[in-house]
Structures are given as C-alpha cells and as structure tokens.
Amino acid sequence: MNTGTKNNATVNPGMLYRPGTVKIAPAMQAFGYSHVALKPGHWKQQQDETIEMYLGIPDEDLLHIFRVKAGVPSEADGLAGWYGAGASTFGQKLGAYAKLYRVTGDFRLHEKAVLLAGEWIACAEQSAELFDNDTYVYEKLLGGFLDLYEYLGYERILPYVLKLTEAAMARFKQDIARDGLQDHGLWSNHMIEWYTLPENLYRAYQLTGEEKFKDFAKGWDYDYLWDKLNSRDFAIGPRHAYSQVNSLSSAARAYEVTGDERYLSAMKIAYDELTTHHIFATGGYGPAECLFTEKEGYLGDSLKSTWDSTLSSLTYTNFSGTEVTRNDTWGSCEVSCCAWAVFKFCNYLLQYTGEAKYGEWVEKLLYNGTGAQLPVKPDGRVMYYANYFLDGAVKTVEDRRLQEGGHNFEWQCCTGTFPQDVAEYSNMLYYHSGDSLYVSQYLPSKVDWVKDGVKIRLENYSPYPEAEGPVKLRISLEGSAEFGLKLRVPAWATGLNSLKINGEEVETAVVPGEWASVRREWSDGDIVEIDFPFPLYFRAVDAANPGIAALNYGPLVLAADKMTRFIGDTAEPAEWIHPVEGQQPYTFETDKGHVAGYSHLTRSFKPYYKIGEMQWYYMYNEIQPR
C-alpha cells in the first residue's frame, strides 16, 4: 500500500448538504474531522495505534463473507466472532477509515476504504443477497457508505446507498412494537435497534436531496421515547442502554431536517435526566447494558456482590423485558459503543445550542471511558465492558459470553465503534461560529481556522490532563485579527480559576459550566493561560447509595489498589487523602486510621486511565463516616 499522505480530502465535510435540507441555524460548528490535529500524548498514541492495527486487518478477511455470498473465489478464512457471522461492523470500519483519513491525511486509510468499498460493490453486482440486511447491519452500512461520500468524495457509492435503502423498504416490518423493547418479537423479525435508523436516513436526504430517504426516516421516529421525555415521564422501563442514547442522534437529524423543536427538547431533557440519574463517575452507563430501569438505586445495586445484604434483589429485568439473575459477565458499561453514542449526541447539542454544559459528559468519557480502554487486539478481542464492581475488577479483552450459535465475542460491535471514538477525539475539541473560536476539550492539539481571509492557528501545548497547571494556548497568525475566544470551564472547577493573556490576568468570568470569553484584537504569538486547579472529591454512585462513591481528581476518576471499606468524610477527602511525592502523577494515599478494621494500614489511588491490562483496581468503595 501507498504509505504517503494526502492532506486534503476531495470533499469539504458539512458543505455537501443540499439546499433546503437543513432547517436550523446552529449556534456553532465542529470542524468536520479536518483542520484539527492531536499532539503527542496518551490520546494521540491511542489514535495512532488504532490506525496501524486497523490498517493491518487483511482486506481478504474483511471481504471473505461477501465473496462467499457472491460466489466469488476467496482464499481467506475470514474473521472470527461477530464479523464472521455476518460482517455486521463492515460499515462502521469503512466509516472509521474515512474519518481517520480526514483527521490525519494518511492516504493509506483512504486507499483501504476505497478498495474495500469497490470490492463490496463488485460482490453486490453478483449477488442481491448483499442488499438483504436486517436493521442492525443496514444502519451501519448506510452510515459507512455516507462517510465514504462525505469525507472521501467517493461518489461511486451513492447508487448503492439508494439500492440498500430500497431493499430495506421492501424488507423491514412496519407493524412491530415501537416501544424499543428488544424482546423475542423484535429479534425474530430482525428489527433490533430500529430506532437508530433515522439518523443516517435523514443524513442521506441531506447529502443527496432524495426525498425517499426523508420519508423512510420519518417512518422510524422513536415517538415512544421522545414523547415520554418531552412530557418528563421517566417511567420508560428497562431498555438497551447504548442504542437508547444513540437514538437521540436520530432525534438530532430529525431536528435539522424539520426544524421541529420537539426533537431538540427531547434531547435536552434526555441529557439532564441521563447525566443526573443514570451515569457513573466515568460517564459510563448501562450496567448489564440496561438503562431506565425502574428500580431506584440500580446503579449502586449493579456494583454489589450477590451476597451483599444491602442488595435490593438477586434478579433484575433486562432490556428484553426478562427477569434474569445477576451475573458479572455482563459488565458496568459497554464502553466503546456507549461512548460513541454520547460523543455524537453531545456534539449535536453543543452545535445546536452553543451551551458549554454539553461538553461535560464528553469530558468524563474522553478521559475515563474511551481514553481508559485497552487497545483492540489484532485478533479482534476488545475491552467490551468497563467494570466498576465493589469487589474489584480488571481491564480485560476476554469476554466470557458464548453466543447460541457458538460464535465467540471477537470482532463484535465495539470493534466498529472504538476506531470511530478515537477519530472523534479530533472532532470534539474545537468549534467555531462566525466570529468566535471555542475550545471544549483540552487535549494537546492544534486547530487551523480562517476568519475573514486570515489564517489563524490555535495550539494547545500543555500536557493536560496528564499534568497539572494552567492550560496554555498559543495563537499564530499573520498580522492581527479580532475574534472571540471561548474556553469551556469544567463543572468541577470550583476553585480559584483564572484567565491570563501574555501573563496578565483578564477580568472575565471563569465560571464552572460556562464559557470563559474574551474578545480582542489578537496578534501573532499571543499566549492564553486558563487555570482551574484540580479538586479532590467523591461522587456517590446514586442517591439511594450515598455511601458508595468514587474518588475524582479534577476530570480524572481514581481507583484504589486494594479492596477496602474506608472511614472518612466524603465531603472533605483532602483532609485524609494526600498526594504522594516522588510517585507517578496523581498518585494519592490515605492517612492511617481510614481503613476499616486496620488502623495501621493505608490505601493508594491512581488514575483509572493509567491502569493496565489485568491489573486489579477498586474504583467504587464503601465509605462510612467516623
């Protein structure tokens, strides 16, 4: 393969939408996977490693199942696991290659994506079976094909977007229950996660102007959930976690196309409800992949052992409506997929509203979700779940669930969303409006922006969050330019925050959960410093279990080294937990006298994202007052 680079994709993303297909005026815009580059650090390393691993997946193995269906000779064995059972993530992988190419300019990604798409087309011309897909596979193919068009300018794929959709229109059952329960009826009709369909169908309409896509999308609006949200009726019932949040991106595209405020209203209410009652300290959600369970304290219960006397029940109702026994093979958060749904959802909300608060959930998962994951292995094993159990957990790529057909958990859904997550790193740091540049997340990076013909570069050259101290931003431009610079202040930043320009403090509000804003005439070499000291604080798992909490330091979730019941004041952890000098950054240790049953012992904490494979950790702990 060609290992050269190409800096400019054929198509300018976000500029392809046909006139009349967008009914709203967003408050600000993302950079569409372009003009932003990560600088060296943990998250850049994740992105680089992911690119090399996914480039290394043999083309023949990715294409094997399609060639078999088309009667085309294949010398490969194909991939194992989910992919081998139906290539369910092929579309997601195409999308990841396209976006990562757009992010990096690495032409190897462009070349691989186009080759795979071309070979799929060749097989599709030989067999109509490639167009006969269930809702799950169709939605992912549709999204990947649209990514090829929008980010690579690959126009050859457009006729197949229409053919896929016409086949789906003929196949999909309209008379299914529309309450989102993933029960036997939905599975037997091959209609799971149908409520995620509108996002890319509306997008197909926006990109092509073809009314057929819009009409088909409208037929799959998830009114059950969105109407309940708008009426603030949160008795929704246990539902599949990732796909429920992902359905909110369908509401987002419906809002863009129709301008109907009820879609945006449902999104805003969902954000507040989810982040208040349904997420862990990491931003993860969906224990055992369940969301909206009706039992109060379900997050805390999910962390307890079955012998715990405070556990409300040994069983729970899962997302298919079945009462099942608790089992730790179903983890605390399906992390790659759950993060992908949140990254998209919050990106839409940020752009539509311009409100800084919608960067908060992203921040949690950026540092403690996807940012804390293990690399995907070359054989398709992935850290499917993140676990936060009271009796400890390890990060592992081993998934102990065997499917009924004998397929193991390799190359499953998370191998399709993880590379999209790391591509998204570059798409959710910076935003722009007509006269302002926004910084939502503070990974080491740079962004290039053109305002009124003036080329402007903003570079974050701080190691945040891997080291404390102010975030430092350097502005480079020819001459000078006037614009607004808006910096998101995290909700946890309740200390002595400050903003300086060229060493001099600026009198502007640096308020948690808001933008710190400066408008001025900027010159080449201006340095902006924003400082929000990291506080040490506990976050209880939920209101019903206030004595179960995770320790946080600024944006980072910490984990203890041994199983412990602590004795101490959760409101003032800095009085009994202190940084350890000479250790790795962000290592903390308790004073003696705070480990229940052992007055002479101490326990140490370190950032969850730094914990390696198969190392035991204890993120949530019981804490009793003195």
CATH fold label, 29-428:
Glycosyltransferase (1.50.10)
Q: What is the number of other CB atoms lying within 10 angstroms of the CB of residue 405?
A: 6
Interatomic CA distance for residues 112 and 100, integer angstroms:
12
Structure tokens at 485: 């610079």
Do 350 and 358 contact (CB within 8 A), yes or no?
Answer: yes
**Amino acid of residue 416:** G
pTM of the model: 0.96
Mean model confidence pLDDT for the chain: 95
Does this chain's domain 29-428 share its CATH topology with 431-467+469-531?
A: no
**Tokens standing for residue 500:** 């300086």
Inter-residue contact 108 to 48 (CB < 8 Å): no
Mean pLDDT on 96-107: 98
Q: State residue 111's pLDDT score.
A: 99
Q: Write out pLDDT tens, residues 347-400.
A: 999 999 999 999 999 999 999 999 999 999 999 999 999 999 999 999 999 988
Residue at token pair 């007055």: 599
431-467+469-531 falls under which CATH superfamily?
Golgi alpha-mannosidase II (2.60.40.1180)
Domains of the chain, by residue range, sit at: 29-428, 431-467+469-531, 536-624
Identify the pLDDT of residue 3. 35
Residue 299: pLDDT over 80: yes
pLDDT band at 406 (very low <50, low <70, confident <90, very high): low
Kind of pairing between the strands at 565-567 and 620-624:
parallel
Q: What is the pLDDT of residue 10?
A: 41
Q: Is the pLDDT of residue 203 over 50?
A: yes
115 has a pLDDT exceeding 60: yes
Residue 178: partners with Cβ closer than 8 Å, 6 or more residues away: 222, 223, 224
